[in-house]
Structure 1
Amino acid sequence: MKYHPIDNALFIKNRKDFMAQMKPKSLAVFNSNDVYPIGADSTMPFQQSRDLFYLSGVDQDESILLLFPDAVEEKHREILFLTETNDHIAVWEGEKLTKEKATETSGVTTVYWLQEFDKIFFELMSQANTIYFNTNEHYRATNVVTETREDRFIKKTKQQYPAHNWAKSNPILQRLRSVKNPIELELMQQACNITEKGFKRLLDFVKPGVWEYEIEAELMHEFLRNRSRGFAYTPIIASGKNACVLHYVENNQQCKDGELILLDVGAEYANYSSDMSRTIPVGGKFTKRQKEVYNAVNRVKNEATKMLVPGTIWKEFHKEVGKLMTSELLGLGILDKTDVKNENPDWPAYKKYFMHGTSHNIGLDPHDYGILWEPVQANQVFTVEPGIYLPDEGFGIRLEDDVVIQENGAPHNLMRNIPIEADEIEELMNK
């Protein structure tokens, strides 16, 4: 990893909070992600299971965390199992975590090599009545991979221990991961700071004739040189009408004078995500119409942000933002009163021009865990990202910041230093 060491107090607290919600005489197991093949002997870059990372800070493959608060022996209440490092691995892959380094990283004092797992697991299952399995139950999850490492572990364990009860770790993690620890907020701020550096670099770089992929390269350069692994998600760099394709990721077109570029990009840092949207003029100046629409989107974003306070219900929040957007679209002449009067309540008139949601949880994943039917809480982190898309006029505008819900008052904007006002962007692009 490129990031600075993380205070293991974060992972110690996360495990303590998780174990406090486990049933008596139960244990929980968390497996690392697989290294996924591409073809021949090529693989995709490894990314750790976010749940395992959240509970341990361990960021290497073939790792297992076992939690058993009622274990007979105190040393077996928290255990890490890791691939044994040796001289051969050190030469070919780089040295893996030693037992001492794993304890320093995670705060887990009992570390075994992976080949000891089956024996120790059998011993501990004889003391347990229930095992917690870790499945991905995010509301947007899609899994086209046949079997993950976690899936294989669950299938094997159910076959070998059919008399045990089993429970789900995900509901506990959904609740815990949605509210951020101060250390997590610092890591997310760092991800946003790196994104800020990338965006400011672009304001000096973008000129008519530049290609979308050249903009992507500038961002990646800035991200990597600031200890990020790169983009937190596939970047969207959409010029002209491309901005009206919500998940445009080809990034292969030339940017022309008079067009706008919609940027939906964010750096990751220490596995934590940032998620920013900005829209900038290729030639350094908005047209009158572009600026009118831009400022309308920005007003919606600012008013929507103020609504994200403790107690807010996510679905109701989106309805209120829809009313703000409807008002702005009427003012722009994009909608008229007849459109609103005759609208389908299940798909209001504004949805033709603003068809996606306004906010989602963000954290270890760009679309992070969060229980959306419960009231918003302090220290949850949300994006705020309204947009207006006008393919007939050849442009789309989306503006997005990441904000931390506060106990009192308006949310704290982690992207407060990233330019967003239209006049400021023009000034910086033409300095």
Structure 2
Amino acid sequence: MNTTDFSLSRQRLMKAMLPNSIAIVPAASLVSRSRDTEYPFRQDSYFQYLTGFPEPEAYLVLSNDCEYKDGLSVLFCLDKDPLQEVWHGRRYGPKQAKKQFAIDMAFALDELDDKLLDLVDGHKHLYFAQGHNTQADELVFDVMQALRNAAKQSKQAPATIVDIRLILDEMRLIKSDAEIQVMRQAAAIACQAHIRAMKFSEAGKNEYHLEAEIHHEFAMQGARHPAYGTIVGSGDNACILHYTENNQTLTDGDLVLIDAGCELQGYAADITRTFPVSGTFSEEQKQLYNLVLKAQLKAFRAFKANNTIKQASDLAIEVITQGLIDFGILRGELADNIEQLTYREFYMHGLSHWLGLDVHDVGHYKIDDEDRPLKAGMVLTVEPGVYIAPDANVDIKWRGIGIRIEDNLLITESGYENLTQAAPKTVSEIESIMRRGI
């Protein structure tokens, strides 16, 4: 991603706004971890999408007033401060930020209150994500009130505030070529991390050892942070969908479910693989695993332009439900079990979600209450699973087995591209790579 990519995003946003509109987009702030320490900074996804600017406490202002031929972009950011930079790191400052990020104008954050009044004055519409950032909410409402209360109506406040997310979410849903390239890279790194975990796994090690191997691979390939809390669930921990304790000893004969993806330039990968701790599936594990894989591969057939996620989900549900009936875990007819949702005891989550700057990315799944047709440029996950709780009322041989297989698909004009194909997922591939080891 380069300055041209971010500039194009700003241009698209300004063209989509109503005439004579102004937009205000805040950056993220530092978040305290404990006393005088902060969590690693992560830029707000909307701000990242429009600027690529990596610092906290900043604001982007965009105007498409006819006075500006190609629109106006204004950045407010922390000023240069030698003392603060000694303690907390270098800052771009307005002058360098303007040049580095192809912004039309840049000012110190201290100037925001005064200059924002003049920038907003006279615009008919204000685009803003109300409720997204409390501090920004207060700023915008103060500016609007100051404009309304100006002496002798010398200033004019926008007549309407429009939710900027209505435009940005739609923009972010369809990835550009540059975004897709970054997501391919993130997926490739995450695939290597899952392979590394498979090779490292053995009984007696801890779940957090696998977590450490994955995070090390991320960092060594330039993706310093996971995109979300890494899940390493061995044994019946795999039946806890968002298990993140990752502190139990790996046991021979168990499966381990790893749901992990890195973040690269703000973009997420999201992969789940399930494999035997010691490298060989038991017969029951293999049967359930192949059922989940069959469901995923069947669902893949529906992922193409103009189809819907629901079409794919229905295929996966049909495969999983029939398999559970065949194994004696469910009883009765397929249609009755699907209608009565009995499968949801063992497959209780959705098949797919959007993927991008957020691991559960923005974008509506329905339009006018109808399932949204897929379009080229969308990126999403496909993640069927089966989870048999340790106390489930089924044959004991199935209990405590949790399996999920998750890949990242890019919808194309001719079908889809599996961005995470390089992470092994057939029984033979997994057993083969684990036999070879590190």
Aligned to 2:219: 224
Q: Match for 2:146 among 157, 160, 163?
A: 160
> What is the match of residue 318 of structure 2?
323
Cα shift readout 1:334-370 (whole Å, capped 9, x = no counterpart): 22225x454473x512211110000000000000012
Deviations 1:119-170 (A, max 9, x none): 2211122221211112468xxxxxxxxx633333344334334553211101
Contact 2:131 2:137 in 1 (8 A): no
3-state DSSP of counterpart to 1:47: coil
Counterparts in 2 of 1:8-157, with a 5 A limit? Answer: 8-70=3-65, 72=67, 77-99=72-94, 101-135=96-130, 148-157=134-143
* 2:117 and 2:147 in contact (8 A); partners too: no
Match of 1:192 among 187, 191, 212: 187
The structure 2 residue matched to 1:367, chosen from 360, 367, 386, is 360
- The number of residue pairs the alignment matches comes to 414
Secondary structure, counterpart of 1:48 in structure 2:
coil
Contact 1:179/1:379 (<8 A) preserved: yes
* Farther off after superposition, 300-309 or 48-57: 300-309
Report whether the alignment pairs 1:386 with 2:384: yes
Tell me the secondary structure at the aligned position of residue 326 of structure 1. Answer: helix
- Which is worse superposed, 310-319 or 67-76? 67-76
Q: 1:15 to 1:84 in 2, by over 3 A?
A: same
CA-to-aligned-CA distance 1:150-201 (integer Å, 9 cap, x gap): 3333443343345532111011011100000011011111111111221121
Per-residue CA deviations over 1:195-240 (Å, capped at 9, x if unaligned) read 1221121122111011011111111111112111221001110000
Structure 1 unaligned residues grouped into runs of 5+: 1-5, 138-146
* Aligned counterpart in structure 2 of residue 237 of structure 1, from 222, 232, 237: 232
Equivalent of 2:417 in 412, 415, 423: 412
Change beyond 3 A, Cα 1:286–1:344: closer
Q: Is the 8 A contact 2:356 2:379 kept in 1?
A: yes
Q: Which runs of 5+ in 2 are unaligned?
A: 149-156, 367-371, 391-398
The one-letter amino acid paired with 1:352 is E
Q: How far 1:70 moved relative to its partner?
A: 0.8
Deviation at 1:81, TM superposition (A): 1.1
- Of stretches 33-42 and 204-213 in structure 1, the one that deviates more from structure 2 is 33-42
What residue in structure 1 maps to residue 351 of structure 2? 358
Mapping 1:205-220, distance limit 5 Å? 205-220=200-215
**Closer/same/farther in 2, CA of residues 332 and 159 from structure 1, 3 Å limit:** farther
What is the CA-CA distance between 1:321 and the residue it aligns to?
2.6
- Deviation of 1:31 after TM superposition, in Å, equals 0.4
> Are 1:136 and 1:170, in contact at CA under 8 Å, matched by a contact in 2?
no
**Contact 2:64 2:72 (8 Å CA) reproduced:** yes
Whole-angstrom distance in 2 between the partners of 1:169 and 1:382: 23
Alignment CA distance shift 1:229-1:155 (3 Å): farther
The equivalent of 1:312 in structure 2 is 307
Look up the SS of the partner of 2:344 in the other structure.
Answer: helix
Partner residue, 1:425: 430
CA distance in 2, matches of 1:286, 1:317: 28
Q: Aligned residue for 2:404?
A: 398
2:221 and 2:186 map into 1 onto residues whose CA distance is 9
The answer on whether the counterparts of 2:304 and 2:375 sit within 8 Å (CA) in structure 1 is yes
What code does the residue aligned with 1:407 have? E
Following the alignment from structure 1 to structure 2, what is the Cα–Cα distance between the partners of residues 306 and 239? 31
Specify which of 365, 375, 378 is matched with residue 377 of structure 1: 375
SS of corresponding position for 1:277: strand
Structure 2 counterpart SS, 1:396:
strand
* 1:316 positional shift: 4.2
Q: Identity, % of aligned pairs? A: 32
Larger Rg: 2
Q: Give the Cα–Cα distance (whole angstroms) in 1 for the partners of residues 195 and 47 of structure 2.
A: 34
Is the CA contact 1:403–1:412 (under 8 Å) kept in the aligned structure 2?
yes
Asked if the contact 1:75–1:109 (Cα under 8 Å) also holds between the matched residues in 2, the reply is no
Secondary structure of the structure 2 residue equivalent to 1:192: helix
> What TM-score do you get using the length of structure 1 for normalisation?
0.91
CA distance in 2, matches of 1:343, 1:299: 19
Amino acid across the alignment from 2:137: D
